[in-house]
Structure 1
Amino acid sequence: MQKCASTDPLTGLLNRRSFERQFNLAMAHRAGGKFIIADMDYLKAINDEHGHLVGDDAIISFAQALELVLGDECLIARIGGDEFCAYLPKADANTVNQLVTQVGSAARNEFLRKTGLDYPLSFSVGMQKCHPKLTFREMISRADSELYAKKRSRPAPTAIDKAA
């Protein structure tokens, strides 16, 4: 029952409540690392074109890619429909940027394996440096600002993007 109460039922990742509790505890005892929030791009287009079960496969593929690439030392959670966050205690900005690229490749490969669809699973990321005593709410607010600035600057999806 403990596991059910602390994990997301679709992905098996931590849920928001559990992540928030563990992140706040980590920040109370140490500083450093990076906090990221990731939001899948164009999930609605996948749902509209292929159905919600395939959309679920996209979410699951992205979650599995996060776990595979980020590893056991990181806290990873699904905090909303297509939103995820992670705490990377030992990462710097360059490392995070490399990991984000790897997550994208792994997610696409996993989605292809699950569905047979070679669909670009793109996502936008906001990243912030962790500081002692900052709470989850403070970190998500800061990372959200960066995330939505990136989303506003990206191009709208086209038929070519869907087929790529």
Structure 2
Amino acid sequence: MSHTKPVVLVLLTVVVGCLSAALLNFLYNQGASLPRDGVEFGLVALIISLLSGWLAAHVHRLKKRQETWMSAVGAARVAALSLALSHTGAIFLGYFGAQSIFILVNLGNDALAETLWRKIVAVIGATLMVLTGLIIEKICTIDPEDPKSQSSSGATPEAA
């Protein structure tokens, strides 16, 4: 699995942000109320990031050949989780980032201004998801120079 390219995360964030901004502007001009969520997402993102970090710590132990319950298959799943975490975080960063910018542009509206802190919490949570995903991806990467991770066709299996 190749590493996540930052440009992919930036593009996800920008595209979702632009689409969200257009939708928010349309809703606002139609007189609809904007979503009031944010804090709950930020807290859930924190919990997900902490749990993912805990899993990554066990992958790190596995790579160091220290005692852990983590298997190689589990480590591969954590690597896949890291990819999903960073991409999902980028999508939510675009979504909540667009809302935050929209509120900042319309800061004269007191009803909108009071929700800004919720959106900022969500932006922090989404950013945490992206960073956690990228860090875990680095942890789950197997060093190609590690002779223990390479198998040659002439190698004999170790006795069980």
TM-score (structure 2 length as normaliser): 0.29
Q: Which has the higher strand share?
A: 1
Q: Which has the higher helix share?
A: 2
